[in-house]
Structure 1
Amino acid sequence: MIVAGLISLTLSVLYILNISYLYSLEQKGCECAMDYRRVYIMAFTAVFLVYSLLLNWIAPKIIINYIHYILPVMMVGGIVNVIFTLQYVAKLKVTECKCSESVYRDIMETLAIINAVTYGIVFLMALASIEVLSRTGGSILSKVSRVKSR
């Protein structure tokens, strides 16, 4: 639990740095960095931070009751966020947008790559689970529930 909390806290700080970086581009008038993806990345990251704070620190029991509604939306939004972030950073690099050059841009790209790999692993695990369930006819679930009930 402590490790998960530390990871969550570290990611929250990194996401706050991303929002701050994206906001600073607008503040300093970096025209080559103005893009619809920047707005989406900022908005989604802010929503994700609030969700993460609620889930991990403020009201985990309340959020858990609604997780089956929230999680699919956050997953789709997260995948779109990863795609937009990678496209946005690539655009900044290709257009040689000098005013956007920063270690924070690199952090943003690195986090997007890590998230993409994580989503890929989760997707592959889901496919493997479906395969196992289809081969066992779901009988494995009844065995797991019997073990849990003991």
Structure 2
Amino acid sequence: MADFGVSYFIKALSSVLTLILLVIIYSYLYNLENKGCACALTKDFSFIKGFTIFAIIYLLFSAMIPDEALYNNLGGNVVLINKFVDLIFVLVFIYYLYEVFKYTRYLVNEKCKCSVDSRREIIMIGSMIEFILIFVLFLLHIIIFVVASTFFNVVRSVNEGADEIREVIHDPISSIRKVPERLASSVREIRSDLGKTINEVGRTVKNTRGNNTYKLNV
């Protein structure tokens, strides 16, 4: 029960803080536009305002529809697509936070008097902290995935390569004939890996739901 409470609290707190930052950004931008602050209406203003609205809607929508609901109603393929969409959103969101920080710094450096507001400093500091945290976590996930995948593929390639080289030396004609078969085998392996990934996503969703239910009952 304690583990569930802590993990849920951290995730909920992170989402709430992000949403609060987005709401502050939108209210600040709306105020600048409403009072006609010309020095604040830069070329990046429309993108920042538009993506702020989109991010608020996306985060609220994602929070209301958990992965287990998608898996139970639409299957593992949809969950996998949803994860890919989440990845794209995170990449764009990292860029968005950078643009927000750069925008607020521009207002300070240009001494845009009509943009002076306590929210400006909150947005500047908040976007910088969020950018660093998300970027570092994303980078760590990528590094871990790449290192693990590379190590596995290198070991497998060395083993398979040694066998193929020996076969080419002893029987080159037979090796050439087996090229189409090897290509077909590679395609089958890709399909198999994709199927395993989808099944693994499904099992993870089911296990997460089962563990949460058990801990809640406890």
Q: What are the within-5 Å matches in structure 2 for residues 92-107 of structure 1?
A: 92-107=107-122
SS of the aligned residue for 1:78 comes to: helix
Q: CA deviation at 1:25?
A: 0.5
Q: CA deviation at 1:9?
A: 2.0
Offset from partner CA, 1:43-85 (integer Å, 9 cap, x none):
11111111111111x2233497341342233123213212211
Counterpart check, 1:83 vs 2:89: no
> Is the contact made by 1:44 and 1:77 (CA closer than 8 Å) also made in structure 2?
no
Match of 1:122 in 2: 138
Q: Aligned match of 1:59 in 59, 65, 80?
A: 65
SS of the aligned residue for 2:44 comes to: helix
Structural RMSD (CA): 2.9
Rounded to whole Å, the distance in 2 between the matches of 1:104 and 1:110 is 10
Moved >2 Å (runs of 4+):
58-66, 136-139
Larger Rg: 2
SS of the aligned residue for 2:55 comes to: helix
Rounded to whole Å, the distance in 2 between the matches of 1:103 and 1:82 is 18
Q: CA deviation at 1:88?
A: 0.8
Q: TM-score scaled to structure 1, two decimals?
A: 0.79
Q: CA deviation at 1:111?
A: 2.3
Rounded to whole Å, the distance in 2 between the matches of 1:88 and 1:7 is 24
SS of the aligned residue for 1:82 comes to: helix
| Percent identity of equivalent pairs | 22
Match of 1:133 in 2: 149
Alignment CA distance shift 1:59-1:121 (3 Å): closer
Counterpart check, 1:47 vs 2:54: yes
Match of 1:12 in 2: 19
Q: TM-score scaled to structure 2, two decimals?
A: 0.57
Counterpart check, 1:109 vs 2:124: yes
SS of the aligned residue for 1:36 comes to: coil
Rounded to whole Å, the distance in 1 between the matches of 2:59 and 2:111 is 34
Rounded to whole Å, the distance in 2 between the matches of 1:127 and 1:37 is 31
Which one scores higher on RCO, CA 8 angstroms, separation ≥ 6?
2
Q: CA deviation at 1:3?
A: 3.1
Q: CA deviation at 1:17?
A: 1.4
> Is the contact made by 2:98 and 2:128 (CA closer than 8 Å) also made in structure 1?
no
Unpaired segments ≥5 residues, structure 2: 1-7, 72-77, 156-195, 205-218
Rounded to whole Å, the distance in 2 between the matches of 1:54 and 1:135 is 38
